């Protein structure tokens, strides 16, 4: 590392409210790699996106708050550039000394980022001698700063990326059994693929949140005004059938908290899920369901949890999520492996102050889900895995266009690798900057 200029992609896509960072988990998660590089005598040019500026400069999505937070965490000044590119940035990069770092402004202010434009990628790549991708939360995106730059620079993964891949692949490859998945959150769409993949791995599937509502409809109940997706009912039915064929137990809520409106201070009551009233919304699981979950989890040795069990943003409807969080923490204390993914789920754990008890908190929303589905993450696929402990993973290895060399200045830019198409899934990870606002 000594004397190298490292172009480091991190995921500083943190939730903001009034310009303040609501949850700095993703910044903290990047610290080990940043420190290792600085301590090793590298100078570090950090890139990240924040939110969805769609190729335009949006002042509310500047990375300065992230730089300030990072400065506090590593106690080294982290200057930001006013633009990811430009003469000022070129100059600031050129002046960096070993052990110094800077943060490029939000790469998504340039339309070339999400388009994975080769010219934009080549300009970014000119800021480093090597590329390190530590942005697990953005690894499911084939963008210029996650994938494009790897065509021009020798590429590596960072420590966070390594930790995430290890934790999630252990879960899939050799979970201690019995293995339970708990899936909640708002919508089934976007989780169908992961549910299907998980059914093939787990012994128990526990459903909650709006996701459970769609499954309740699929199993013949009516859910009144509750959030559910009519288009996903067939998929839910198929997943239930798959579970039945494989002998996987599925736990659907037997009771729920229904509310007149999905707001604070509204009227609410507990009812059986067989008799959900037509003009109410189911917003949380009821006490009988919570007891059933607690009992079902008693023998479980491995837990994967994604998605809150209710509308946890409203304290009255956070009961099941809170109870599950406590059970999960107890299980982890007893030696079970507990992996939690999803911005909202982790936010719920942080609110309770028990996030640290879990075995692993995945910083990737959409990326974690796609990894668990067994899909290739473009941000991992561009990094050679031969010789690494993960070379047996289902990662497509795409040879760098010009391995080990920087692009010759005057030649036409190397063709970006066409093998990797941008993902079409809704970006779970990105949503999070708005989720908690």
Interface residues toward ligand ADP, by CB under 6 A: 184-186, 209-210, 227, 282-283, 306-308, 310-311, 313, 342-345, 365, 428
Strands (E), 291-367: 302-306, 337-341, 360-362
Bridge-based pairing of strands 255-259 and 249-251 is unpaired
Closest residue by Cα to residue 26 from 51, 60, 1? 51
147: Cβ contacts below 8 Å, ≥ 6 apart: 116, 141, 378, 379, 381, 382, 416, 417, 420
Q: Which does 210 bind (CB under 5 to 8 A by kind): Mg ion, ligand ADP, none?
A: ligand ADP
| 246 classed as catalytic | no
Q: Could you tell me the smallest distance in angstroms from the CB atom of residue 160 to ligand ADP? A: 18
Q: Could you tell me the smallest distance in angstroms from the CB atom of residue 50 to Mg ion? A: 16
The Cα–Cα gap between 330 and 263 comes to 31
344 binds Mg ion (CB under 5 A): yes
- DSSP class of 80: B
| 26 classed as catalytic | yes
SS3 at position 255: strand
Q: Which does 407 bind (CB under 5 to 8 A by kind): ligand ADP, Mg ion, none?
A: none
Q: Which does 227 bind (CB under 5 to 8 A by kind): Mg ion, ligand ADP, none?
A: ligand ADP
The Cα–Cα gap between 47 and 58 comes to 17
**5, 123, 141, 187: which one is catalytic?**
187
- Contacts with Mg ion by CB under 5 A: the residue count is 2
SS3 at position 14: coil
The Cα–Cα gap between 53 and 308 comes to 27
| 184 classed as catalytic | no
Nearer to ligand ADP, 119 or 437 (CB): 437
Q: Which does 80 bind (CB under 5 to 8 A by kind): Mg ion, ligand ADP, none?
A: none
Nearer to Mg ion, 317 or 390 (CB): 317
236: left (phi over 0), alpha (psi -120 to 50) or beta: alpha
Bridge-based pairing of strands 249-251 and 204-207 is parallel
The Cα–Cα gap between 62 and 65 comes to 8
Burial environment of residue 416 by CB neighbours within 10 A (0 to 12, 13 to 18, 19 or more): buried
Q: Could you tell me the smallest distance in angstroms from the CB atom of residue 39 to ligand ADP? A: 33
Q: Could you tell me the smallest distance in angstroms from the CB atom of residue 365 to Mg ion? A: 6
**128, 343, 365, 429: which one is catalytic?**
343
| 141 classed as catalytic | no
The Cα–Cα gap between 270 and 71 comes to 48
Q: Could you tell me the smallest distance in angstroms from the CB atom of residue 40 to Mg ion? A: 35
343 binds Mg ion (CB under 5 A): yes
Q: Could you tell me the smallest distance in angstroms from the CB atom of residue 429 to Mg ion? A: 9
23 binds Mg ion (CB under 5 A): no
Nearer to ligand ADP, 320 or 393 (CB): 320
Nearer to ligand ADP, 43 or 345 (CB): 345
Q: Which does 345 bind (CB under 5 to 8 A by kind): Mg ion, ligand ADP, none?
A: ligand ADP
**Element spanning 147, H or E:** none
Q: Could you tell me the smallest distance in angstroms from the CB atom of residue 189 to Mg ion? A: 13
Q: Which does 366 bind (CB under 5 to 8 A by kind): Mg ion, ligand ADP, none?
A: none
Strands (E), 273-322: 281-285, 302-306
**307, 366, 379, 429: which one is catalytic?**
366
**9, 26, 123, 191: which one is catalytic?**
26
Nearer to Mg ion, 211 or 300 (CB): 211
Sites of contact with Mg ion (CB under 5 A): 343-344
Catalytic residue set = 26, 187, 343, 366
């Amino acid at each position: 590392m000594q004397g190298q200029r490292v172009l480091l992609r991190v995921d500083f896509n943190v939730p903001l409210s009034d310009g303040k960072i609501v949850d700095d988990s993703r910044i903290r998660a990047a610290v080990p790699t940043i420190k290792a590089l600085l301590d090793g005598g590298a100078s570090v040019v950090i890139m990240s996106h924040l939110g969805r500026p769609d190729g335009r400069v949006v002042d509310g999505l500047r990375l300065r708050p992230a730089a300030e937070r990072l400065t506090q965490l590593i106690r080294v000044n982290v200057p930001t550039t006013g633009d990811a590119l430009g003469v000022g940035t070129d100059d600031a990069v050129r002046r960096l000394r070993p052990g110094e770092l800077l943060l490029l402004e939000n790469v998504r202010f340039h339309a070339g980022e999400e388009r994975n434009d080769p010219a934009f990628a080549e300009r970014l790549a000119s800021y480093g001698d090597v590329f390190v991708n530590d942005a697990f939360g953005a690894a499911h995106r084939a963008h210029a700063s996650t994938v494009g730059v790897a065509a021009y620079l020798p590429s590596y993964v960072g420590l966070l990326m390594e930790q995430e891949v290890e934790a999630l692949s252990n879960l899939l490859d050799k979970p201690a059994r019995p293995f339970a998945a708990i899936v909640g959150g708002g919508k089934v769409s976007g989780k169908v693929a992961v549910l299907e993949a998980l059914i093939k791995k787990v012994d128990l599937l526990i459903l909650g949140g709006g996701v459970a509502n769609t499954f309740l409809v699929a199993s013949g109940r009516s859910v009144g005004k509750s959030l559910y997706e009519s288009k996903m009912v067939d998929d839910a039915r198929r997943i239930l059938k798959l579970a039945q064929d494989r002998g996987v137990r599925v736990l659907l809520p037997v009771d729920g908290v229904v509310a007149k409106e999905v707001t604070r201070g509204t009227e609410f009551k507990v009812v059986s899920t067989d008799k959900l009233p037509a003009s109410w919304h189911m917003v949380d699981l009821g006490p009988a369901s919570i007891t059933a979950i607690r009992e079902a989890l008693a023998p479980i040795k491995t837990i994967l949890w994604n998605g809150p069990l209710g509308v946890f943003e409203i304290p009255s409807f956070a009961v099941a999520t809170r109870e599950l969080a406590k059970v999960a923490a107890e299980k982890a204390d007893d030696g079970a492996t507990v992996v939690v993914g999803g911005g909202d789920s982790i936010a719920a754990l942080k609110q309770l102050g028990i996030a640290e008890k879990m075995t692993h908190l995945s910083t990737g929303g959409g990326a974690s889900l796609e990894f668990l589905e067994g899909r290739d993450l473009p941000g991992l696929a561009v990094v050679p895995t031969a010789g690494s402990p993960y070379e047996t993973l289902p990662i497509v290895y795409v040879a760098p266009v010009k391995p080990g060399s920087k692009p010759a200045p005057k030649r036409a830019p190397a063709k970006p690798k066409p093998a990797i198409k941008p993902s079409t899934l809704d970006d779970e990870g990105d949503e999070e900057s708005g989720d908690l606002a």
